[in-house]
Amino acid sequence: MTGTLITVAPTGAESSKADVPALPVTLDELVTTAKECEALGASIVHVHIRDDAARPTLDQGRLRDTVAALREGTGLIVQLSSGGSVHDPEADRLAVLDAAPEMASCTMGTVNFGADVFMNRWEFIVGLHTRMQERGIVPEYEIFDLGQLTTLQQLLGRYGLPAGGHVHVDLVMGVPGGMPGTAAALVACEQAIRDLPEGTTFSATGIGRSTIPVMLASLSAGGHLRVGMEDTLTYAKGRPVESNMQLVARAVGFAQLAQRPPLTPSQARELLGVPAR
């Protein structure tokens, strides 16, 4: 792979607007952020949304409006989170697909998430996977621990390849309760990915202080990058992140140093099996 797929995750469900004023929580803020990140080199936007009080929500009307606005205002691949917040019920998380995103996340197992539990039962995983197959929504399989790659292997063996035919995973590293954000952990995952269908690709996300080590390890192993204020709020020690654009620009710089420049949204669609607009 000679290019780098860069995903921006601008908001997430954990941080509050009161604590992080730069966090994009309104639709206008999200679209503006997406446009600016696309101009810098991002090709996917991973989306969580907020309500009028800036609290995480899976409101169906807001989800549909968000997908429509991002499709109209950008060329980015619109990827909705089916994770929501750790407190959202399964039915609401499955209903995320009703907003007709181009991609959606599909987490491959339950994981301790700090003091909470991010629940992903096998039956729920199968439901997400098969509904995305039926609707032509391309999944990104989120992996929080090494064993979840074995779960993905079982899922694909029993229920077939995803919509678009290409398997792409995101290694979420450094979550308290999940795998560490280290080069050694990434190499272990990269070895396990070889047991998945030929051509499987991966991105890596380093949470908090693991952001830079994970970016460098992923690029060196032929992987791709996800960055954003969902995953880290500190640019450097003692220096808060000012914007998502700051994080995307750094990822683009690292990709160019690795001689793997950012993929355009069109190139990303071709790689991932996402239909052209």
Of the CA atoms within 13 Å of residue 43, those in its CB half-sphere come to: 22
Q: What one-character DSSP code corresponds to residue 230? A: T
Q: Which of 173, 128, 182 is nearest to 151 (CA)?
A: 128
Which residue stretches of the chain have pLDDT < 50? Answer: none
Contact 108, 83 (CB under 8 A): no
66-73 LR contacts (CB < 8 Å, sep 24+) = 66/27, 66/30, 66/99, 67/99, 67/100, 67/101, 69/27, 69/30, 69/31, 70/30, 70/31, 70/34, 70/45, 71/277, 73/31, 73/34, 73/35
Domains observed in the chain: 6-269 (3.20.20.70)
Contact 139, 163 (CB under 8 A): yes
Contact 12, 208 (CB under 8 A): no
pLDDT for 29: 98
